[in-house]
Amino acid sequence: MERIDTVVIGAGPAGLASAAMLRRRGVPCVVLERDAIAASWRRHYDRLHLHTARGFSHLPGLRMSSRHGRWVPRDGVIGYLERYARHHGIEVRRGIEVSRLDREDGGWRIETSEGAVHARALVVATGYNREPHMPEWPGREGFTGDLIHGSEYRNPDPYRGRDVLVVGSGNTGAEIAVDLVEGGASRVRLAVRTPPNILPRETGGVPAQATGILMRHLPAKVADPIVEATRRVTVGDLSPYGMPPAPRGAFSQAVEDDVVPILDVGLIGALKRGEVEVVPAVEGFDGAEVLLRGGERVSPGAVIACAGYRRALEPLIGHLGLVGDKGRPVVHGARTDPRAPDLHFIGYTNPISGMFREFGIDARRIAKHQARRRSAV
């Protein structure tokens, strides 16, 4: 059995940042990846850009190129992560699927598609959005139109001239709806279960993320009214366009529900122009029809379900009792569970201050902790 000091599982931004900071601290490590560097970014739709500003999105030890502008596109992120791995000399072993973790001989036994590996310490960074989730809507299998998960959407070309229903009012659903409008879909509807908080991506040249960073440690009862006052001035009341106010403030939703605001890239304008119609939540399917809450029926030619993802950590660590609320690990960052020493998790939160920024913070803390642990052995 191969023995490695520290193994990082996952070669996305969180895993690469962890490996880079471990190496900087003198901790030998190897990254195991089932697919490729930046695999999840490679699967995203074509028009995607980081919703966080470039200046707040560098991983530690290498800045993103300014040639991509403030909002870095998908391909720019992929190229950056590839450069990041090369720059830091990170060993990434591709095509290796990790299936289970167990304590063994004072360390960790890692079951992989290429046999078992033993490690002193582990960092799990398999991703917040590891597996697409499609709701089990009644009648779904009998729908005669096209039905895909949002993870399968690439661009609007297949939907030109078609009637499309987008399900889900997160950032992905909002951006795909706008993409469809701009790409020539004949009709675009957006099914909303819970009205989202919608904020401008930037106001007066200041990214919304900067506000999130400044206020992330404030109590929600203080932060929510500040954000709401800004929203009323910059966005206004969208109720006349079918989008009522969110039931709770932006910070309350982020902290309590793990739901971040929509950072607008065109949805507000599309709603006001009538290019995107808001309809109630989907309840089921009946042949060519989609059944909506309240009894309404619509007959789109295609449905794109931006219905979220699952962390899918249960096969890996479920038997250790480390999977908590909403499938997230019970500890995060430098903290470890007493039942699982030297096992860290990174990338399983959805912070209002921006994921890439938080990856860097947590990666540094994990590396510092592990350097101390290793020197004490």
pLDDT tens for each residue of 98-116: 999 999 999 999 999 999 9
Report the distance separating Cα 172 and Cα 163, nearest Å. 19
Q: Report pTM.
A: 0.96
Question: Domain check: are 157 and 273 in the same one?
Answer: yes
| pLDDT, position 325 | 87
Question: Domain check: are 299 and 178 in the same one?
Answer: yes
Question: Domain check: are 146 and 217 in the same one?
Answer: yes
Please tell me the chain's helix, strand, coil percentages from 3-state DSSP, rounded to the nearest 5: 35, 25, 40
pLDDT at 258 over 90: no
Question: Domain check: are 45 and 74 in the same one?
Answer: yes
Please compute the mean of the pLDDT values over residues 299-323 and round it to a whole number.
96
| pLDDT, position 80 | 98
Instruction: Look at 2-6, 8-12, 255-259, 310-314 and tell me which has the smallest mean pLDDT.
Output: 255-259
Question: Domain check: are 148 and 254 in the same one?
Answer: yes
Question: Domain check: are 287 and 140 in the same one?
Answer: yes
pLDDT at 254 over 80: yes
Model pLDDT for residues 153-202, shown as the tens digit of each residue: 999 999 999 999 999 989 999 999 999 999 999 999 999 999 999 999 99
Question: Domain check: are 192 and 226 in the same one?
Answer: yes
Last residue in a domain, options 305, 339, 368 = 305
Question: Domain check: are 220 and 276 in the same one?
Answer: yes
Strands 202-203 and 206-207: antiparallel
pLDDT at 241 over 80: yes
**110, exposed or middle or buried, with CB in 10 Å at 0-12, 13-18, 19+?**
buried
Last residue in a domain, options 276, 305, 334 = 305
Last residue in a domain, options 305, 327, 343 = 305
| pLDDT, position 377 | 66
**Closest C-alpha to 88, from 362, 360, 377:** 360
Please state, for a pLDDT cut of 70, what percent of the chain lies above it.
100
How many structural domains is the chain composed of? 2
DSSP for 155-209 reads -SGGGTT-EEEEE--SHHHHHHHHHHHHTT-SEEEEEESSPPPEEESEETTEEHH
**Cα atoms in the 13 Å half-sphere on the side-chain side of 43:** 15
Q: Cα-flanking dihedrals φ and ψ of residue 194, to 5°?
A: -120, 120
Question: Domain check: are 8 and 106 in the same one?
Answer: yes
Q: Two tokens at 91? A: 């060993």
Question: Domain check: are 283 and 142 in the same one?
Answer: yes
Question: Domain check: are 122 and 103 in the same one?
Answer: yes
The domain in which residue 186 lies consists of: 134-305
Question: Domain check: are 213 and 362 in the same one?
Answer: no
CATH number, domain containing residue 107: 3.50.50.60
The residue behind tokens 């095509």 is 95
